[in-house]
Structure 1
Amino acid sequence: MAPIAVDERPAPPKYHGKFEIHKLKSDQSFQSEPVQGTVYHGDGREEALLKHLQSLPQLQNKPGTQPVLDAIHEFGKGENRYLMSVGDTKGTGIEKLINEKKPKHLPKIHPNSVYPANWTGDANEDKAGYISLEKSEVYAATARGAIELAGLGDVVKIVTGSSTPSLKNLRKTLNLPRPIKFDMIFIDHLKPLYTNDLKVMEEEGLIAPVSRDDNVKVRIELIEMHLALKGTIIVADNVVKPGNPAYLSYVRAKPEQKRAMLARPPLKTQPPVTPNPSDPSEWETAFCDGPLEETLWTPVESDGVTGRGDPDLVYSSEMIGGWDPYTGERDACEVSVCLRKESS
Structure 2
Amino acid sequence: MWKGVVTFLSFGKFMGGFFFHGWGGDGREEQLLEYVLENAERGNPQSVIQAVDEFARSGTWFMNVGEEKGRILDSSIAKKNPQLVLELGTYCGYSAVRMAANLKHPDSKLISLELTPHIADIARRIIDHAGLSSKVEVLLAPLSRQIDTIKSTLAKTNGQCFDFVFVDHDKDLYLPDYLLLKEKGLIDEGSVIFADNMGFPGSPKFWSYIQSHPQELETEVHKSAVEYISWIRDTVTVSTFHKL
Pairwise TM-score range, normalised by the shorter structure: 0.7 to 0.9
**Cα contact 1:46–1:138 (8 A) shared by 2:** no
Deviations 1:36-68 (A, max 9, x none): 997672413222221222222x423x12x2211
Where does 1:246-285 land on structure 2 (aligned, <5 Å)?
246-254=205-213
Instruction: Give the secondary structure class of the aligned counterpart of 1:242.
Output: coil
Give how far 1:172 is off.
4.6
| 2:234 match | 331
- Contact kept? 1:14, 1:327, Cα under 8 Å: no
Question: Who is 2:223 aligned against?
Answer: 321
Partner of 1:308: none
1:201 matched to which residue of 2? 181
**Helix, strand or coil: the match of 1:59?**
coil
Partners of 2:17 and 2:32 in 1: CA distance = 17
> What letter matches 2:211 in structure 1?
R
Compute the displacement of 1:15 (Å): 5.0
Give the TM-score normalised by the residue count of structure 2: 0.78
- The one-letter code sitting in structure 2 at the alignment partner of 1:333 is V
Q: 1:94 is matched with which residue?
A: 73
Aligned with 2:219: secondary structure?
Answer: strand
Q: What amino acid does structure 2 have at the position aligned with 1:70?
A: Q
Name the CA distance, whole Å, in 1 between partners of 2:160 and 2:151: 12
The amino acid that maps onto 1:242 is P
**RMSD over equivalenced CA pairs, Å:** 2.9
User: Which residue does the alignment assign to 1:307?
Assistant: none
CA distance in 1, matches of 2:33, 2:204: 34
Letter in 1 for 2:155: L
Matched, 1:146 2:126: yes
Unaligned 5+ residue runs, structure 2?
A: 85-99
Aligned mate of 1:59, from 41, 64, 73: 41
Tell me, in whole angstroms, the C-alpha distance in 2 between the residues paired with 1:15 and 1:146: 25
Instruction: Find the structure with the greater CA-based Rg.
Output: 1
Would you say 1:181 and 2:148 are equivalent positions?
no
Q: CA, structure 1 residues 109+93, in 2 after alignment: closer, same or farther (shift >3 Å)?
A: same
Query: SS where residue 198 of structure 1 aligns?
Result: helix
1:202-248 CA-partner distances (Å, limit 9, x unpaired): 11101112xxxxxxxxxxxxxxxxxxxxx100000000011111111
Give the distance between the partners of 1:53 and 1:203, measured in 2 at CA.
Answer: 39
Structure 1, unaligned runs of 5 or more: 1-11, 22-34, 114-127, 210-230, 255-287, 289-312
3-state SS in 2 of match to 1:240: coil
In structure 2, distance between residues paired with 1:246 and 1:36: 24
Matches of 1:175 and 1:338 in 2, distance apart?
19
Letter in 1 for 2:195: A
On the 8 A contact 2:197/2:236 being kept in 1, the answer is: yes
Matching residue of 1:216: none
Kindly report structure 1 stretches of 4+ aligned residues shifted beyond 4 Å.
12-15, 18-21, 35-40, 105-108
Shift of 1:185: 0.5
Q: Partners of 1:14 and 1:187 in 2: how far apart? A: 28
| Cα distance between partner residues in 1 of 2:150 and 2:75 | 29
Which residue number corresponds to residue 54 of structure 2? 74
Identity %: 30
Alpha-carbon shift at residue 89 of structure 1 (Å): 1.5
SS of the residue corresponding to residue 95 of structure 1 reads: helix
Quote the Cα distance in structure 2 between the aligned partners of 1:337 and 1:245: 19
Aligned-partner Cα distance in 1 for 2:5–2:69: 16
Partner Cα separation in structure 2 for residue 41 and residue 13 of structure 1: 21
d(CA) in 2 for partners of 1:164, 1:110? 28
For residue 208 of structure 1, give the secondary structure of its aligned residue in structure 2.
strand
- Within the candidate set 7, 15, 26, 1:16 is matched to 7
Contact kept? 1:133, 1:159, Cα under 8 Å: yes
Whether the 8 Å contact between 2:81 and 2:103 is mirrored in structure 1 is no
Instruction: State the partner residue of 1:41.
Output: 23
Residue 83 of structure 1, CA deviation = 0.8
Number of residue equivalences: 219
Alignment partner, residue 214 of structure 1: none
RCO (CA 8 Å, sep 6+): is it higher in 1 or 2?
Answer: 1
Question: Normalized per residue, which structure has more helix?
Answer: 2
Deviates more, 1:46-55 or 1:189-198: 46-55
